[in-house]
Amino acid sequence: MKKLFLLLGIAFLFTGCASTQTEADKLANCKYALRSVEISDYNVTSLSFDITIAITNLNRKEPAQLKRFEGELAMNDTPVSKINLEPVSIPPNTTYNAKTHITVPMSAFSSKLLGLVSMNSGTIDYHLTGTMYFEGPLGAEIPVPVDVGRIGGYNT
Report pTM.
0.74
Q: What is the pLDDT of residues 13-69, one digit of tens each?
A: 445 444 444 555 555 578 999 998 888 888 888 889 999 999 999 988 888 888 989
CB 69, CB 83: distance < 8 Å: yes
What kind of fold does domain 2-152 have according to CATH?
A: Immunoglobulin-like (2.60.40)
Q: What is the pLDDT of residues 109-131, one digit of tens each?
A: 877 777 776 666 567 888 999 99
* C-alpha distance across the termini of the chain, in Å: 66
In the chain, where the domains are located: 2-152
Specify which residues 74 forms β-bridges with. Answer: 79, 127
